[in-house]
Chains A and B, each alone.
Chain A
Amino acid sequence: MTSIQIPELSFSLIAPELILCTAAIVILLVDLYVKNVERINITLLALIGIVLAFFSAGTLYGASELAFSWLIIRDDMSVVIDQIFLIGAALIVLMSHHYSERYHFPYGEYIVLLLFSTLGMLIISASADLITLFLGVELVSITLFVLTGFEKKSLLSGEASLKYLLLGAFSSAFMVYGIAFIFGMCRTTNLISIGSLLSEDFIGSPLLILGFALLLVGLGFKIALAPFHMWAPDVYQGAPTPITAWIAAGSKLAGFIALVRVFSLPDISFHPLARTWVEGIWWLSLLTMIIGNAGALVQKDIKRMLAYSSIAHGGYLSMAFVSHNDVGLQALLFYLAAYLFMTIGAFAVVIAAGRHGEERRRISDFAGLAKRRPFLAAMMSLFLLSLAGMPPTAGFIGKVWLFGSAIQAQYYGLAIVGILTTLFSFYYYLRVIVYMYMRDEEKEFEAEPLSVSLTLALSLSALGVLILGVFPNTLMKVITNSVIVL
């Protein structure tokens, strides 16, 4: 009997994933066997795991390797993305710590699921194979289905969870179906092999196009591109607010990274197929920007409003795939980072503005916030102005970069629609500010004081928004370098 050649296993390349996974399992066991464990300890454990993963990811810069029989790609882009995810996860953990005080749900399991969903995101960012990609997407989705329904007593939460599950499963089916077609035509699921196959003479097979189209539809559901966006407002509204933030920021980011991995393969860019996708995404982007912004105009619930705003942002972001150039990809990565901070920040304010048993979710509930809690109102204004794209915030630089990429690729029409819909968006973002600063509250509302963890989450997000807005160069340089490597 000959011994089997064991493929090289470079565990160091997936150190962040391993650390995060270990942290999740440790917390699971601690929660099981330590009696009456303090919530703060669980939070600290989770934060330690995230920070360790963050730094271990930092050591991987410049690795640029394929590992595990080409299942995993560890390039600089994946490292940047990992770090962005981990920062986001840390902010969400901080928010959840405050939030769980208000709603007594099993905190340990909650954090474990949160960490596993982060793990799924890290897997997506490092996947070089459709199978790994799918694994990551499913890990993110399934954990989020559960987390969405975590407020067991709330009907809205249950409804959201069920909707999310059904549509999520539906979209996963699309994805698998697409992957099957691609595998059928290319006889491989490895993205790099597919790329090189396509660059030869695999042109124009309708089944292949169908495969990629189905994949696009599947991922379109995950990132809520119109017309696959219907689930988003209900789910955003029903989910516990930190989870809403994580769906809006993390899961959307992950979906976009998956799209980047599939549709920006090095060899595909010049492929005739690329034109077909670009055309498809052009329409999706246009539709998403219009529907998202129009929908947000009429919302009365702040979480629904932010949901539609998040849909609209999906439209802006997918512009990067239309322009299909380096600038677009860089802009996408930058904007994702910026978007993460401002969205999480905005939802953190939503949490902070409420109190136990009475979350203030109507936009009119924000009336007079500036007088009562000037810090919160100022923070909210900052995040909303950043979402709207006003300088000197991260949202401005990101949006400018994205629209710039569309102009460079000579998609003037799309850029103009983008700008005009942004103008619409000013209206609904400003409406919240109008309520906070210019109207008086109807009745006195004594909100609970800010906890340390929430203050930390708020300040960090605000810091992120401002730093990326005023001194964007550090992140820009990292991103520019990482995209060249790709």
Chain B
Amino acid sequence: MLLTLITFIPLIGAALLLCVPRSMEGAHKWFAFGVSLVPLILCIPLMIVFPYGEPGFHCAALVSWIPSFGIDYRIGIDGISFVLIILTTILTTISIAASFESIKEKEKEFYFFLLLLETGMLGTFIALDMFLFFVFWELMLVPMYFIIGVWGHGERIYASIKFFLYTAFGSALMLLVIFYLYFEAANQLGASPSFHFENFVALTLDPGIQKWLFVGFVLAFLIKMPLFPFHTWLPYAHTEAPTAGSVLLAGILLKSGVYGFLRFCIPIFPQAVIAFSPVLMTLAIIGVIYGAMVAMVQRDVKRLVAYSSVSHMGMLLAGILAWNLQGIEGGIIQMVNHGLSTGALFLIVGMIYDRRHTREVSEFGGLSKVMPVYATFFMIFMLSSIGLPGLNGFVGEFLILLGLMGHSIFWTILAATGVILGAAYMLWLYQRMMFGEVKVEANRELKDLNRREFHILLPIAIFCFLIGVFPYPLQKTLEPAAKQIVEYIQPHLTAEPWLASIPLPNENTSPSINNESNHE
């Protein structure tokens, strides 16, 4: 019930928002802000109720939705979804607050879509029924499309359509696979067909077919994540979106890709995941280094942060693909960290954009003298993104590298290179923007953060420190879920020769799968 409330209150709020007359200027944003506070506050009882350290799904609920089709409203959360729900509610509230001054026209629609988006995001994280999951997954798409396309900058229309088509392509294939599994489940399990994902987990799938199904299924998540060759929508979407859109896109939507991979792909297609993990690992590491190198040469601050996302997400996936507890845990913690620090960096960029209406790095310089508070926050988030010890980024990256180390020294070295490059472009960016002399006249007049902006950034900064210094509660929350994933994957991992060495994508993959299936 609690979860349902948290998920649907934004939707109800959005519907009510439509009833607020257009003439009441300024009322819409406060109304939306108020609505978004409700799920945030409801997270407190959720945090009290949630049984930390216990495996399985909690706060579950089950209501029959479309019985003639075996579709249920089946929800429940484990550690991963719990953390992501809290992150979602926090970031939504923050991004609404961050839009107060930057969104000047069609305010009503903007906040309507933001609230709709929140329901979509929250629903994605609680759904256990595949059909329900798909509905929420698609529900994220439309509001974000509008947010980018209507309130974005520059090439917003191109960016929004590219975003929509890329993501829709992935999910369309996913839908087909879901249906295949549904009918297969009806055949194999005999019981009345249902979209419950644990039914799909219980299926025995022929390895050959499983590979194809996996490809169809995982594309949706890889595109959203985004993994290296599928990332081309991201720089556009991130750059052109309004600040709130970028924050939620980086903070939550990218995470939903990883979440789907963890929650559904791994349990349903364990053998195929293993078979493809060399390919995925290669792409992930390419993404880490490629993203970092492209970020380094960007002249647009927002684009730079966008490419840093590509790099970070590759890192995160690499951690998961190490298939050990440290790696997976590190990956999940990094999901939260990336949501906080990259989200915050987009806010930072948005604030300077509101003042100067440009994002060119060369337009700035010496800002630390003009805007000391701003510079301080920027530094905190920049360092958190780099992974300085004592801040949240360190915890995640350290665990990921630790996990990778247990997997293959080769990948660890490459991933570590990515970390170094990450530090390089971030520090360089900071140096160019903040230090030196104030070269551009317009910059001398800039006002430092106002109270609203200060209070938007403060909670994120506090979280960054908290996780960095005291990561234990987060780790404890995530541990059972991470262990669960390891358990799914462990029986299929037995002595795969290529896992220890440098992987070649097509080497030995299919025979090893066949061995696996013979066990069962």
> Within 8 Å by CB, do A and B touch in the complex?
yes
- Give the B-binding residues of A (Cβ under 8 A): 370-371, 374, 385, 390-392, 396-397, 400-401, 403-404, 407-408, 412, 415-416, 419-420, 422-423, 426-427, 430, 433-434, 437-439, 472-473, 476-477, 480
A407 touches B109 (CB 8 A): no
Chain A residues within 8 Å of B165, by CB: 423, 426-427
Provide the bound-state CA to CA distance between A433 and B156, in Å. Answer: 13
Nearest B residue (CB) for A424: B165
Nearest A residue (CB) for B181: A407
Interface residues as binary, B95-110 with A (CB distance below 8 Å gives 1, 0 otherwise): 0000000000010010
Please give me the 3 A-B residue pairs with the lowest Cβ-Cβ distance, nearest first.
A391-B135, A419-B172, A404-B179
Chain A residues within 8 Å of B68, by CB: 473, 476-477, 480
Chain B residues within 8 Å of A422, by CB: 172
User: What are 18 A-B contacts with C-beta separation under 8 Å?
Assistant: A370-B150, A374-B22, A390-B141, A391-B135, A392-B135, A397-B66, A401-B69, A404-B182, A423-B172, A430-B161, A433-B149, A434-B157, A434-B161, A437-B146, A476-B66, A476-B69, A477-B68, A480-B68
The reply on B175 being an interface residue by CB < 8 A is yes
Q: A476-B66, A477-B68 are in contact. Are A423 and B179 (CB under 8 A)?
A: no
Provide the bound-state CA to CA distance between A2 and B106, in Å. Answer: 82
Chain B residues within 8 Å of A437, by CB: 146, 149-150
Provide the bound-state CA to CA distance between A392 and B119, in Å. Answer: 12
Provide the bound-state CA to CA distance between A408 and B139, in Å. Answer: 26
A430 touches B176 (CB 8 A): no
Taking a contact as CB atoms closer than 8 A, the residue among A392, A423, A439 that contacts B168 in the complex is: A423
Taking a contact as CB atoms closer than 8 A, the residue among B134, B157, B175 that contacts A419 in the complex is: B175
Chain A residues within 8 Å of B135, by CB: 391-392, 396
- Give the A-binding residues of B (Cβ under 8 A): 22, 65-69, 106, 109, 134-135, 138-139, 141-142, 145-146, 149-150, 156-157, 160-161, 164-165, 168-169, 172-173, 175-176, 179-180, 182-183
- Which residue, B66, B106, B169, B173, has most C-beta atoms of chain A within 10 A? B66
CB distance from A391 to the nearest CB of B (A): 4
Nearest A residue (CB) for B150: A437
- Majority DSSP secondary structure for residues of B touching A: helix
Nearest B residue (CB) for A330: B68
Nearest A residue (CB) for B69: A476
B157 touches A371 (CB 8 A): no
Provide the bound-state CA to CA distance between A390 and B167, in Å. Answer: 12
Taking a contact as CB atoms closer than 8 A, the residue among B67, B160, B164 that contacts A473 in the complex is: B67
Please report the number of residue pairs spanning A and B whose Cβ atoms sit closer than 8 angstroms. Answer: 82
CB distance from A484 to the nearest CB of B (A): 11
CB distance from A166 to the nearest CB of B (A): 39
Provide the bound-state CA to CA distance between A472 and B142, in Å. Answer: 21
Taking a contact as CB atoms closer than 8 A, the residue among B142, B161, B176 that contacts A390 in the complex is: B142
CB distance from B220 to the nearest CB of A (A): 12
CB distance from B75 to the nearest CB of A (A): 16
A403 touches B109 (CB 8 A): no
Chain A residues within 8 Å of B173, by CB: 419
Chain A residues within 8 Å of B142, by CB: 385, 390
Chain B residues within 8 Å of A401, by CB: 69
Provide the bound-state CA to CA distance between A46 and B134, in Å. Answer: 42
- Which residue, A403, A404, A439, has most C-beta atoms of chain B within 10 A? A404
Taking a contact as CB atoms closer than 8 A, the residue among A370, A390, A408, A472 that contacts B183 in the complex is: A408
Taking a contact as CB atoms closer than 8 A, the residue among A404, A423, A433, A439 that contacts B169 in the complex is: A423
Chain B residues within 8 Å of A385, by CB: 142
CB distance from B334 to the nearest CB of A (A): 30
B179 touches A403 (CB 8 A): yes
Provide the bound-state CA to CA distance between A420 and B139, in Å. Answer: 19
Chain B residues within 8 Å of A423, by CB: 165, 168-169, 172
Q: A434-B157, A480-B68 are in contact. Are A416 and B150 (CB under 8 A)?
A: no
Provide the bound-state CA to CA distance between A480 and B180, in Å. Answer: 21
Chain B residues within 8 Å of A438, by CB: 149-150, 156-157, 160
Provide the bound-state CA to CA distance between A400 and B137, in Å. Answer: 15
Q: A374-B109, A430-B164 are in contact. Are A415 and B66 (CB under 8 A)?
A: no
Provide the bound-state CA to CA distance between A333 and B31, in Å. Answer: 42
Provide the bound-state CA to CA distance between A370 and B106, in Å. Answer: 9
Q: A423-B169, A477-B68 are in contact. Are A403 and B176 (CB under 8 A)?
A: yes
A419 touches B66 (CB 8 A): no
Chain A residues within 8 Å of B160, by CB: 434, 438
Provide the bound-state CA to CA distance between A385 and B172, in Å. Answer: 15
CB distance from A414 to the nearest CB of B (A): 11
Q: A423-B168, A423-B169, A476-B66 are in contact. Are A403 and B175 (CB under 8 A)?
A: yes
Chain B residues within 8 Å of A412, by CB: 176, 180
CB distance from A249 to the nearest CB of B (A): 24
Chain B residues within 8 Å of A476, by CB: 66, 68-69
B138 touches A473 (CB 8 A): no
Taking a contact as CB atoms closer than 8 A, the residue among A374, A390, A433, A473 that contacts B66 in the complex is: A473
CB distance from B29 to the nearest CB of A (A): 17
Nearest B residue (CB) for A469: B135
CB distance from A80 to the nearest CB of B (A): 14
Chain A residues within 8 Å of B22, by CB: 374
Chain B residues within 8 Å of A407, by CB: 176, 179-180, 183
Chain A residues within 8 Å of B141, by CB: 390
CB distance from B115 to the nearest CB of A (A): 15
Chain A residues within 8 Å of B168, by CB: 423, 426
